[in-house]
Amino acid sequence: MRTIASTVATYIKTKPYLSSALSDGIINLTSLARQIQPDIENVMRKTVNQGAIVMSLKRASDDAEFSSGSAKITGVLKNMGDITVRSSLIDYSFSISETLLLNQAHLLKKIEHIKEVFYTSSRGVAESNIIVSQNISELVDTIFSEETCHSKVENLSSITIKLPTENVTIPGIYYFIFQRLSWEGINVNEIISTSNEFTILIDEQQVSSAFEEIKKLKSL
């Protein structure tokens, strides 16, 4: 039998921002209960007392599942390694083709002895992104001139974050970071990750704000 408590718990688990706010204790439960009451009544198909919703929200916010999950995430973030910032980057998006990998290999050969050059790439099913330092953009344009380029976004910066190895066993870490960036109105253009580090690509005008927000996570 569906109870008010289980209905409320299921509801907030489908709202990640709400779950975080409850876990952090930064939300007014009475106001929230009033706001979600129509949704809870719709699910239960009956009138639900607002006070009962408040009590269910209180139980959910005290639930060990919420508090322990948040504690694990903040524990990992406190142990973040170096945060590396790079500027003057360009993000290219190309269609996958029979020659794309050959051209990437050609580019790598050309830049292997160039100091202070940045190169990384990611490959999907239908397209591949190549991110490079702005100072080799003419070289990229030449080598990939026969490829289908969907976009070329300039004036980008990257922030690379090193995470402890246990990050792969704890769900919600990436969400936690991107949530904070979203709250500050910071748009992430591209994400590239390995097991224990990831890089975000953002507009150069927002890199300082993004860096400060990420740095704050270490002191949560």
| pLDDT for res 49 | 93
For residue 40, what is the enclosing H or E element? helix 29-44
What's the CA gap between 38 and 29, in Å, rounded?
A: 15
Q: Looking at residue 156, what is its pLDDT?
A: 97
C-alpha dist (Å) from residue 150 to 37, 99, 127, 130, 189: 46, 16, 9, 12, 14
**How many Å from the N-terminal Cα to the C-terminal Cα in the chain?**
39
Per-residue confidence (pLDDT) for residue 64, from 0 to 100: 45
Tens digit of each residue's pLDDT (9 = 90 or more) over 143-176: 999 999 999 999 999 999 998 888 878 877 888 8
Kindly report the pTM of this predicted structure. 0.73
Question: What is the model's pLDDT at position 69?
Answer: 60
Q: Is-contact 197 82, C-beta < 8 A?
A: no
What kind and span of H or E run contains 92? strand 83-95
Show the low-confidence residues of the chain (pLDDT under 50).
64
Give the total residue count for the chain: 220
Report the pLDDT value the prediction gives residue 15, as an integer from 0 to 100.
73
Are 203 and 187 in contact, with CB atoms under 8 Å apart? Answer: yes
- One-letter amino acid at 67 equals S
